[in-house]
């Protein structure tokens, strides 16, 4: 899988990761997050994904490139489903 400027998309184990939003695709409710260890995660929001900022639920439109986020992901085959996304700044 290649996207986000031609960079390789990484599949990681289920867990919690911190990183920076590299790209936001509002049409697909999708974000790309670059983790601290230089992995690029492709995350398509589901109806179950929660998005919070300062402990409050916020809309997808609050996400922007360059933001620091904490994501909890569940690995489903070769796909990562975001369980929760927390905007840290």
Query: Which CATH superfamily, name and number, covers 2-87?
Result: Copper binding periplasmic protein CusF (2.40.50.320)
Say what the pLDDT of residue 47 is: 94
pLDDT tens digit string along 34-80?
999 999 999 999 999 999 999 999 999 999 999 999 999 999 999 99
pLDDT tens digit string along 11-35?
999 999 999 999 999 999 999 999 9
Say what the pLDDT of residue 1 is: 43
* β-bridge mates for residue 16, sequence order: 72
Say what the pLDDT of residue 56 is: 97
Q: What angle do CA 38, 57, 55 make, to 5 degrees?
A: 75
Burial (CB count within 10 angstroms: exposed 0-12, middle 13-18, buried 19+), residue 85: buried
Query: What is the DSSP secondary structure assignment for residue 10, as one 8-state letter?
Result: P
pTM: 0.90
């Amino acid at each position: 899988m290649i996207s986000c400027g031609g960079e390789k998309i990484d599949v990681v184990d289920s867990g919690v990761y911190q990183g920076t939003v590299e790209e936001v695709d509002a049409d697909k409710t999708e974000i790309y997050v670059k983790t601290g260890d230089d992995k690029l995660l492709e995350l398509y929001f589901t109806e179950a994904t929660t998005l919070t900022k300062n402990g409050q639920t916020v809309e997808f439109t609050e996400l922007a490139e360059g933001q620091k986020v904490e994501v909890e992901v569940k690995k489903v085959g070769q796909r990562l489903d975001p369980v929760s996304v927390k905007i840290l700044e």
